[in-house]
Chain A
Amino acid sequence: MSIILSDISKNFGRFSALNHINLEIPEGELVALLGPSGCGKTTLLRIIAGLEQADSGRVLLSGEDKTEQHVSRRGIGFVFQHYALFRHMTVFDNVAFGLRVKPKKIRPSTGDIHRKVHALLELVQLDWLHDRFPDQLSGGQRQRVALARALAVEPSVLLLDEPFGALDASVRKDLRLWLRSLHYELNVTSIFVTHDQEEAMEVASRVVVLNHGCIEQQGAPSEIYDHPANAFVSKFIGQTNVLQFDQQEGLLLPNTPPDGKSAHVRPHDIVLAKASNDDNAHAVLRDWQHLGALIRIELEKISPYHSGLSIFVEMPNEQFKQLALKKGDKVTLQIQRAHWFH
């Protein structure tokens, strides 16, 4: 089911949480609402769900205006950040809840409910825990029960609030990939909220970057990474060096710097070489860290204007070994690609 948000605004007292949000999500996408905390992403998710009312604007699901419709009739599945499992019910009863509260006329028979719940629990690989209570589960297990519970009512849209926020790093990695493959298996339009850009880039087919209640950019992960729309997106997504240049400086740039703008340069877009003499050196090597296949090199820029500025460069391990650099070595830099923002 497609989702259209048109001109959504929401204020909490004098604080403007969302500011004229327009967003269109095509059917079957897995979308990440990404932004720093307090940017309004959870509020937006709750407005789509109907758990919160927007001050103005409309919410359209499958082209139908659902703005006034109660959360219980929107046909959405919502997975809460802290799972919100019913603590007094077993895993089975939690998942069955959505089926059992259906009006008598459309409620499945006990046998059907039984089959369906077990099928869902098998889907999330937790059928063996069906008679446990939420307290007896680990974080990752609770998360999957919450997901099975939301899926039981066959929602046309699945909304997940910080789905991996409260999990251990290792569990988180597994669940991310699992959620992604589950999404392609079920093909339910899904939106998840996250403040972790890595998570958004890894899981989502489409990323919406929010800041201060406004959409900064939306698009495929690669699009956002390679062509950030503004300085905020460039700094928020991935690592970026923000550098200021004036004409005299000798760093080799791909183009002449526009006036008054800063260059946003990805660490892997800088080529580094040992300086042949002190005069043409751009930076001094301070330190480096191993990031698995890559090395992150910390440099200090040599400049009469901005001394002490750190520049990060990333390059493959092998390449770094061939350069045979030591701490304190002087190096030259060549910037291959830069985005210019104010």
Chain B
Amino acid sequence: MNAVTDLIKTAEAVKRPALTDPVWLRRALTGIALGFILLFLCLPLAVVLIEAFAKGWATYWSALTQPDTLSAIRLTLLTALVTVPLNTLFGLCAAWAITRFQFPGKSLLLTLIDLPFSVSPVISGLIFVLIFGAQGWLGEWVSAHNIKVIYAVPGIILATLFITFPFVARELIPLMQEMGSQEEEAALSLGASSWQMFFQITLPNIKWALLYGVLLCNARAMGEFGAVSVVSGHIRGLTNTLPLHVEVSYNEYDFVGAFASASILAGLALLTLVLKTTLEWLQQQNRSPT
């Protein structure tokens, strides 16, 4: 008996230093992490705001209300407005197909969904130039039908669609896999139509994950630079989205203009973070209602 208690005591004695690090190490690690966050996350945000307001509120406002800036905002909103609903739909379809059906090539599809994440955005843009550009595969057909894709709004939308495709599907697939299809089968066996099943059973169960995916998709659609930059042609007032407008303004030494536009994107990012945290919290609540 004594031997056993001794053994437990030794085990505890051994465990304590292994689980808690010395004070100096804890402080150092916390310090490094905080310093890093301050330097690389908070400082740039502060610089954006300081620079944007460097010449006062009036200059900031007039920079934002310039026709070019307004048109960039409009184009960014348009792009998001088209791509987000489409990718929500595609994401739902892909997640449904992957989690509810058995078919050959399923794991290939699962890998392909991640392709936009693994390819450099510049390459993604280039793909569309190679397809629809003047010398591209479909270039002649497109120009023969008087459709402008590259250096025009359709190209920007296509490139953004490609880039933001994985967000919704990626959120939904693990959740729907975990849920299984029994509740859906139960709904069908009770006489529900496929639509009733989807809107009354599936959707309520996946809504938080879906909203989360849509939110991330939207943030990326509004913020995408690389792919859009390749296909847009940087035509002021026509094919400049907000991120491109920031670059163009900066290159033309219009610092207030650049930072004013950047402040909108930064605000969007902060808003996304707040919404994201809220959604995560709601999702947590939803999973453990008791």
Residues of A whose CB lies within 8 Å of any CB of B are: 49, 51, 70-73, 76-78, 80, 82, 84-88, 97-98, 101-102, 133, 135-136, 149-150, 152-153
Whether A84 touches B205, Cβ cut-off 8 Å, given contacts A102-B191, A135-B290, is no
- Given A101-B196, A135-B289, A135-B290, the answer on whether A72 and B189 have CB atoms closer than 8 Å is yes
- With contacts A86-B186, A88-B204, A135-B290 known, what are 12 further pairs, Cβ within 8 A? A71-B188, A72-B188, A73-B191, A84-B185, A85-B186, A86-B201, A97-B190, A97-B192, A98-B190, A101-B192, A152-B190, A153-B191
Alpha-carbon distance A105/B196, docked complex (angstroms): 16
Residue in B200, B204, B205, B286 whose Cβ sees the most chain A Cβ within 10 Å: B200
User: Does any Cβ of A come within 8 Å of B193's Cβ?
Assistant: yes
Question: Within residues 151 to 198 of chain B, which ones have a CB less than 8 A from any CB in chain A?
Answer: 182-183, 185-193, 196
Chain B residues near A153: list those with CB within 8 A.
Answer: 190-191
Q: Establish whether residues A82 and B188, one from each chain, have CB atoms under 8 Å apart when the complex forms.
A: no
* CB <8 Å contact, A87 and B190: no
Given the known interface contacts A101-B196, A133-B289, A135-B289, the answer about A149 and B182 at a Cβ–Cβ threshold of 8 Å is: no
Q: Which residues of B contact A86 (CB under 8 A)?
A: 183, 186-187, 201
A101 touches B290 (CB 8 A): no
- State the interface size on chain B (CB cutoff 8 A): 20
Docked CA distance A73–B290 (Å): 35
A80 to B182, CA, bound (A): 8
Question: Which residues from chain A contact B196 at a C-beta distance below 8 Å?
Answer: 101
Task: Please indicate the chain A residues that have their CB under 8 angstroms from the CB of B204 in the complex.
Answer: 88
Q: How far is the CA of A135 from the CA of B290 in the complex (A)?
A: 7
Contact of B189 among A49, A87, A88 (CB under 8 A): A49
Assess the B189–A51 pair: CB atoms within 8 A: yes
Q: Does the CB pair A72–B185 fall under 8 Å? A: no
Chain B residues whose C-beta falls within 8 Å of the C-beta of A97 in the assembled complex? 187, 190, 192, 200
The CA-CA distance from A78 to B188 in the complex, in Å, is 10
Nearest Cβ distance between residue B54 and chain A, in whole angstroms? 51
Contacts of A76 in B (CB 8 A): 189
Give the residue of B183, B192, B290 whose beta carbon is less than 8 angstroms from that of A84.
Answer: B183
